[in-house]
């Protein structure tokens, strides 16, 4: 669903088309599979060589170099950025990839720190504040919640993770480029959707985790 089979000038990209067809064939069980380790069902498939990123150094460096070739020279090319994405199901892997790419971005780094605290509406909030100090909360990593220290640069691509102002184009999944930042707000330019080119302000917002093993924070 996320792989656009057409180039910017409207021509069909044969390689992307073949990749999409292969993924659909896997879902429809058209790709031959085998069993290993006494599996009850055949669930192992052979990956085509043309879809494999071979690693000579580290896997992260290899996949970033393959997907974002010539990144240093083209990091301000919005069309180049929109044509590429690296997807991973694990937050840890996404963080490591982001760190690797972030180091290659030009410009000074601005660090934004979270303001973690136990939800005031939580049961036994006072006792929980004593059991879960801020230092511990800062170390936790929740899905769809940024890390305690968010490092950003002017010109960096970012993506919204929740609906903020849908009528203005600020929806979950919207991609933007940071153009300026202050202590509590970010200024960014939308580069996807129906509001491309519009400059918006992203304020500091409250995010609440609902994971049951931790108190609301």
pLDDT, one tens digit per residue, over 151-175 is 999 999 999 888 888 999 999 889 9
Report the pLDDT averaged over residues 15-28: 91
Whether residue 75 is contained in a domain is answered as no
Please give the full DSSP string across the chain, using - where no structure is assigned.
-----B-TTS-B-HHHHHHHHHHHHHHTT-S--B--TT-SS--B-PPPGGG----SS-HHHHHHHHHTTTHHHHTT-HHHHHT-----S-HHHHHHHHHHHHHHS-S--EEEE------TTSTTHHHHHHHS-HHHHHH---TT---SEEEE-TT-EEE-SS-SBGGGTB-TT-EEEEEEE-SSEEEEEE-SGGGTT-EEEEE--------TTS---
What is the model's pTM? Answer: 0.71
pLDDT at position 217 is: 47
Domain assignment present for 182: yes
pLDDT in tens, 75-106: 889 889 888 889 888 878 888 999 999 999 98
89 located within any domain: no
Give the gyration radius of the chain's Cα atoms: 21
In a domain, 29, yes or no: no
Q: Is residue 163 part of a domain?
A: yes
How many other C-beta atoms can be found within 10 angstroms of the C-beta atom of residue 207?
13
Domain count, the chain: 1
Range of the domain at 128: 107-217
Q: Is residue 43 part of a domain?
A: no
Q: Look at residue 44 and tell me if it is in a domain.
A: no
């Amino acid at each position: 669903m996320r792989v656009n089979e057409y180039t910017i000038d409207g021509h069909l990209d044969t390689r992307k088309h073949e990749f999409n067809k292969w993924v659909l064939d896997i879902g429809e069980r058209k790709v031959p599979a085998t069993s290993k380790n006494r599996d009850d069902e055949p669930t192992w498939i052979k990956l085509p060589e043309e879809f494999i990123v071979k690693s000579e150094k580290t896997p992260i460096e290899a996949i970033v170099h393959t997907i974002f070739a010539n990144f240093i020279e083209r990091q301000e090319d919005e069309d180049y950025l929109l044509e590429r994405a690296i997807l991973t199901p694990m937050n840890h892997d996404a963080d490591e990839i982001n760190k690797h790419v972030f180091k290659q971005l030009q410009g000074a780094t601005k660090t934004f720190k979270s303001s973690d605290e136990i939800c005031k509406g939580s049961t036994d909030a006072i006792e929980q504040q004593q059991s879960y100090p801020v230092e511990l909360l800062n170390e936790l990593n929740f899905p769809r919640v940024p890390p305690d220290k968010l490092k950003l640069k002017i010109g960096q691509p970012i993506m919204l993770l929740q609906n903020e102002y849908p009528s203005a184009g600020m929806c979950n999944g919207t991609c933007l480029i940071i153009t300026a930042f202050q202590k509590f707000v970010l200024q960014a330019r939308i580069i996807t959707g129906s509001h491309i080119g519009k400059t918006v302000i992203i304020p500091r917002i409250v995010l609440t985790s609902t994971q049951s093993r931790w108190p609301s924070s």
